[in-house]
Structure formats: structure tokens, C-alpha cells
Structure 1
Amino acid sequence: MDWTIVSFLTADALQNGTIYALLGLALVLVFAVTRVILVPLGEFLVFAPLTYVWFLPSEVSGLNLQGQIPGTAWLAAAMLTWWAVLDRTNLRRVGLLLLGALGVLGLAWWGAQGVPMWLGWLLAILVVLPIGPASYRLFFEPAKNASVLTYLIIAVGLHFAFMGLGLVFFGPEQFRLPPILSGQTTLGLVPVNNQAFLVYGFALLAMVGLYLFFTRSIFGKALRACAVNRYGARLLGISPSQAGYVSFAIATLIACVSGMLLAPLISPAYFQGFLLGLKGFVAGILGGLVSYPLAVVGALLVGAMESWASFQASAYKDAIVFALLLPILLWRSLQSQEIGEED
């Protein structure tokens, strides 16, 4: 292995690790506030760019989709309407939710009529974004005070449901999306796609933004209070339910923007979200699902291991990455104290 190969593998590890870091940050955020391991996060990542395909001009996408509303818009509107039915005693919230459902369909219809590409980019994110907090209200909040295992089972079921719907909405093929920044920049011996710099920039912005949000804003401090002690936060007038909505919304936003920036580099398809989300989960586990800096370090380690394995043993690269979980889980099991089943 010479210096040229090392340079290419390092660049690949940095790009992959950055994506896993974004997903790891979102997973840690949701788990800290709600104790939910958000397995469907990878589906949110691919839903946004796949929705964007419906808003692209036919000469760019190569498909004649003008006037067709993407399935994700109908899904978001249906989930918001279901949320309104569950909260029917709160007339103000019902009105806002129904207005939001109509707004999602209106934005999707507007985008499907043909809009500038930058506007379609934003509309795709806005269409997918409500699915995150609606998922918390419809599937996780009814199981209040459930165990982490119960939440995990719900999340896995939701992942398979979303992945199946993705196949129905978008079909099995991959789509090639136009980049925001075209061309390449050579750094040393490695040509780096200019689109990758946007991914790096957003990752840095997300890390700094989350730090400032949790340390400087009153809403961030409220989420931290729910993460530390939900019952104590409730006594101080902080709603754990509202904190759950906010955490799911932030995580979904991070996933959607990450997917939109990453899409020109990977040609997204409905099935790609699972592996990306699973490797982000590995990064979060390496950080103990509690530490944002450790999650980032874990993501870079996952990216490095995947890059090395793809060169040395490409057939086993995913198995090698997931094997990183074994020593961490073993160490955590040895550190934990055995308690009775009732406790």
C-alpha cells in the first residue's frame, strides 16, 4: 500500500465518516431526549432527495413527472391528519395540523408544476420534514414509559414500513441528481468532488449549531433537562412530549439536508437508507448514545474501518464495520451491574 492509495482511502473515510457523524448526532439527540433509537432515520435521509426528483425538470431528471405529487407528500399529509384525529380535543392544534397537511400537499403540488431547482430543493425538505415529529406522536408517544427494547421494536417495524412505502413511491431504481457544486478539486494526490465540501460544511455547521442550541438557547436547555431527568423537567413545566417533537424534528431536518447534499454522490434509491442509518447507529453506539463528540469520533472510526476494509476485504467490509459493536457491547455489559427483572 503506497501513499497514493492511503490518500484515496483517507479521503473516502472522511467523506463516509462525515455522513455517519451527522446521522450519529441525530440518533444521539433523539435517544437522549426520548430513549428512542430512531432506526428509520436512514429512510428520512433518502426520502428527501427522492422527493426532489419529482420537482426536477424532465430534461434534468430524464423522467416525465410534471404535475405528479410524490408519495411522501401524501404520507406526510396522512400522518398529520391522523395526528389531528388523535388530538381532536385540542381544537387549536387540530386546526394547525390540518392546515399543515394541506400545506404539505400544496407545496408538493407547487413543486410538481415546475419550479427553479433551488426552490425544489427546499420544497423537498419541507415535504418530508413533518414525517419525523408525526412518527413520534403516532407511534412512540402512545407507548409512554415503555422500555428501550419496546421502542426499538416499534422503530424497526416503522423502518420496514417506510422502506416498503419507499419502494411503492419511488420504485426500485436509483436516481442521479444534479450537484450544487460541480467539478473536482485536487488536494495533494486526491481529486475531491466539490459537492463533498458542502457535506463537510454542513457537518461542521450542524455540530456548532447543536452546541449553541443546547448551551445558549432556552429550548435547548429544556431538551437537556428532559434528557437528564424527564420527571424533574415535568415538575419545572417542561413538556417531555414537546421535547420529543422538537428532537424528532431536528433529527429529521439533519437527515433530510444530509440526504440532499449526499444524493449527487451516491445516486439515491429507496433501499440505501438502511445501511447508512445502521452505520450511523454504530457511530452512536461507539459514543455510548450519550456523547456528541464521541459519536463524531466513532463515525470517523467507522468511516476509516469501512474504507480500509473495502480495499483489503471488500466482500466483508460491512461485517467488519458492524463487528466494531462487539467490543463496545462487551465492555458495557461488564461495566453494568446486574439487577433484578422487576427493577
Structure 2
Amino acid sequence: MDSSIAAILTLDGLTNGIVYGLIAIALVLVFTVTRILFIPQGEFVAYGALTLAMLQQGQRPGPLWLLLVLALCAAGMQAASLLRAGQAALLPRALLGTLGVPLVIAALVWWAAPQQFALPVQVLLTLLLITALGPLMYQVVYESMADASVLQLLIVSVGIHLAMTGLGLVFFGAEGFRTPAFWDERWNLASLTLSAQTVVVVAAAAALLVALWFFSGRTLYGKALRATAVNRLGARLMGISTTLAGKLSFAVAAFIGALSGVLIGPMSTIFYDSGFLIGLKGFVAATIGALASFPAAAGGALLVGLLESFSSFWASDFKEVIVFLALLPILLWRSLVIPAHDEDEE
């Protein structure tokens, strides 16, 4: 391996690592706020890329129907809860709050899909549609079992992953798709060719991190989310709704997943089940950060990207195995230096 090949592999690894870093940040956020190991995070990535591909073809994307079904289920559960509590007078307002935004987004996507608008508009529609799935999924699936054990939540997450993978086959078919690049320019830097799509990935990730920093440190909802991540019971005693925090964390995770899918769509062919491996690599990075540290998870993601890139050069048939085996010494080290403790009871 000469220096030019090493430079190409490094650039490719860092680009992939940035995407894995976004996924890892979403996983850490969801886990710290809700204690949910959100296995289906990778499905949001695949849904984002494939939804954009369907909009490119002028077709109405399948997740549109999933959004409507989740919205109706959430509205039905909320109506039943209010009726049991004898609060029927609150029913119209509650149903409007639950169904309003999903129905508006569904109607907008339904109308705009055949119009084949410009790529930025299609990206915006994709982000709106996939992001709206997050809080509804939390409300329908996880809200009623918010106090369950981590193991029970993990089992449910595996079930949601399997369901979303099967629905992905129904929504998008078995054929893979690759979306058009946002910017087609290329620049030659010595022996290295830098693509404009790489610049777009870096710029989008940087903008997202700045937005998350501003949101978490400068807004009331962001501070409430941070408080819930630090201590769920203490946040609840201070009047912070852990249900709202859970919905918000899922919305952010869905947005990050959709954005990651939009970013990697032009760089690789995405299939309905591609999200599983992508999500697992993000999970490896999040585990390096102990599912608690955002900087460590981001650094671990860059390490995973570089390891994957160089492994594809030296042993391409085993690159996935090498990446996942790298998790074993990290887990072993953590088991030795961090004492075991029982799960906190709330």
C-alpha cells in the first residue's frame, strides 16, 4: 500500500465514519433519555434513502401509509385513555394534536410526490415524512412500557426492527436504489480526488452538530431533554414530562436517520435491509462511548469507518467481521474496569 491508496482509504473511512457518528449520536440520545437500545435506527436510514429514491421516480413512498397507520393507532389509544379517565371533553383537542401534523405531512407528500420537484424539495419532504414516524412510534409502541426493564425494551426493539425490515420489502421492493448526488464536482488534490458529495456530507454533519448544540443548550425543550438524560426520576419530579422527552428524542433520532440516509444514498446502493448493518456499525461506535458519551461515540464512529475502509482493502470478504470483532476487546475492557451494578429502579 502506497501513500496515495492510504489517503484514499482514509478519506473514504472518515466519510463513512461521519455517517456512523450521526447514527451513534442518535442511539446515545435515545438510550440516555429512554433506556431503549433502539435497534431500528438503521431502518430510518434505509427508509430515508429509499423514500428519496421513490420521490425521484415520481412515486408515493410506502412510509406514507405507515405514518397514517401509526397516527390512527396513536389517536385510538389516546381516545381510549381519555374515555377511561372520564375526560371526553378533551377528546377533540387531543385528537387534533395527535392527527393534525401527520395528516398535513401525509397530504403534502401525497400531492408533491407525482410533481417531481427539485432535489432540495424532495429531500425536505423525505425528512418531514421520516421524522414524523419517530414520535408516533414512541407513542404507540414504547410509551405504555416506559418503566419496563432494559431487556424488555430491547426485545421490543428487535421486534420493531424485524417489522420495519419486512415493511421495507413491501414498500420499496427487493431492488436497490442509488439517489443522485447533491453536487457532482470533483477536485484533484495531489494524488487524491475529493468529491463534492464528501464535502456535502461533512458540511451537513457539521451543521447538524451545531444545531443540536444550540438546541440542547439554548432552548427550553433541549434543556428538558438533557435533564431527562441525566436523571429521569429527578426530571419527572421537577415537572418535566418524560413522555414528551421520549417523543422528542425519537423525533431527533428519526431526523438524524433520515438525514444519514439522504447523505449516503448517492455513495452506495441502498436496499430495504441495508439499515441493519449500517445501524450495527453505529451501535459499535455508540458502545465505544458506553452509550453515554456523545464525543466518545463520535470518535468511535470515525474509528469504525477507518477500520472498515482499510479492512476492505486488506480483506474485503471479512471487513464486516473485523469491524464487529473490534467490539469484543472494548466490551472486555469495560467489564474489567467498570464494576457491575443492578439496573436503577424508578
TM-score scaled by length of structure 2: 0.92
2:131, 2:252 within 8 Å by CA — same for their partners in 1?
no
Q: 1:84 aligns with which of 75, 85, 89?
A: 75
Structure 1 residues not aligned, in runs of 5+: none
Aligned residue in 2 for 1:122: 124
In 1, distance between residues paired with 2:27 and 2:231? Answer: 19
Structure 2 counterpart SS, 1:264: coil
In 1, distance between residues paired with 2:146 and 2:166? Answer: 27
Shift, 1:200, TM fit: 0.7
Aligned residue in 2 for 1:32: 32
Structure 1 counterpart SS, 2:177: coil
Specify whether residues 225 and 4 from structure 1 end up closer, same or farther in structure 2 by C-alpha distance, changes over 3 A only. Answer: same
Shift, 1:93, TM fit: 2.4
In 2, distance between residues paired with 1:263 and 1:34? Answer: 29
For residue 75 of structure 2, what is the amino acid of its counterpart? A
Shift, 1:176, TM fit: 2.5
- Which 10-residue stretch deviates more, 296-305 or 219-228? 219-228
Shift, 1:188, TM fit: 3.0
In 1, distance between residues paired with 2:343 and 2:197? Answer: 51
For residue 227 of structure 2, what is the amino acid of its counterpart? A
Structure 2 counterpart SS, 1:145: coil
Structure 1 counterpart SS, 2:144: coil
For residue 74 of structure 2, what is the amino acid of its counterpart? W
Specify whether residues 342 and 252 from structure 1 end up closer, same or farther in structure 2 by C-alpha distance, changes over 3 A only. Answer: closer
How big is the alpha-carbon RMSD for the aligned residues of Structure 1 and Structure 2?
Answer: 1.8
Aligned residue in 1 for 2:99: 98
Shift, 1:314, TM fit: 1.1
In 2, distance between residues paired with 1:340 and 1:313? Answer: 40
Superposed, which structure 2 residues align to 1:266-281 within 5 Å? 266-281=268-283
1:77, 1:104 within 8 Å by CA — same for their partners in 2?
no
Structure 2 counterpart SS, 1:113: helix
1:286, 1:298 within 8 Å by CA — same for their partners in 2?
yes
Q: 1:74 aligns with which of 41, 49, 65?
A: 65
Shift, 1:17, TM fit: 0.5
Aligned residue in 2 for 1:142: 144
Specify whether residues 305 and 234 from structure 1 end up closer, same or farther in structure 2 by C-alpha distance, changes over 3 A only. Answer: same
Structure 2 counterpart SS, 1:191: strand
In 2, distance between residues paired with 1:51 and 1:257? Answer: 11
For residue 54 of structure 2, what is the amino acid of its counterpart? W
Q: Calculate percent identity across the aligned residue pairs.
A: 44
Structure 1 counterpart SS, 2:22: helix
In 2, distance between residues paired with 1:36 and 1:78? Answer: 23
Shift, 1:214, TM fit: 2.0
Aligned residue in 1 for 2:293: 291
In 1, distance between residues paired with 2:106 and 2:219? Answer: 32
Structure 2 counterpart SS, 1:192: strand
Aligned residue in 2 for 1:238: 240
- Which 10-residue stretch deviates more, 174-183 or 22-31? 174-183
- Which 10-residue stretch deviates more, 145-154 or 206-215? 206-215
2:60, 2:114 within 8 Å by CA — same for their partners in 1?
no
**Displaced runs of 4 or more, over 4 A:** 338-343
2:13, 2:302 within 8 Å by CA — same for their partners in 1?
yes
Q: Number of aligned pairs?
A: 334
1:167, 1:270 within 8 Å by CA — same for their partners in 2?
yes
Structure 2 residues not aligned, in runs of 5+: 83-89
In 2, distance between residues paired with 1:339 and 1:166? Answer: 38
User: Does the alignment pair 1:55 with 2:55?
Assistant: yes
1:77, 1:100 within 8 Å by CA — same for their partners in 2?
no
Specify whether residues 341 and 39 from structure 1 end up closer, same or farther in structure 2 by C-alpha distance, changes over 3 A only. Answer: closer
In 2, distance between residues paired with 1:211 and 1:121? Answer: 23
In 1, distance between residues paired with 2:113 and 2:335? Answer: 51
TM-score scaled by length of structure 1: 0.92
Structure 1 counterpart SS, 2:251: helix
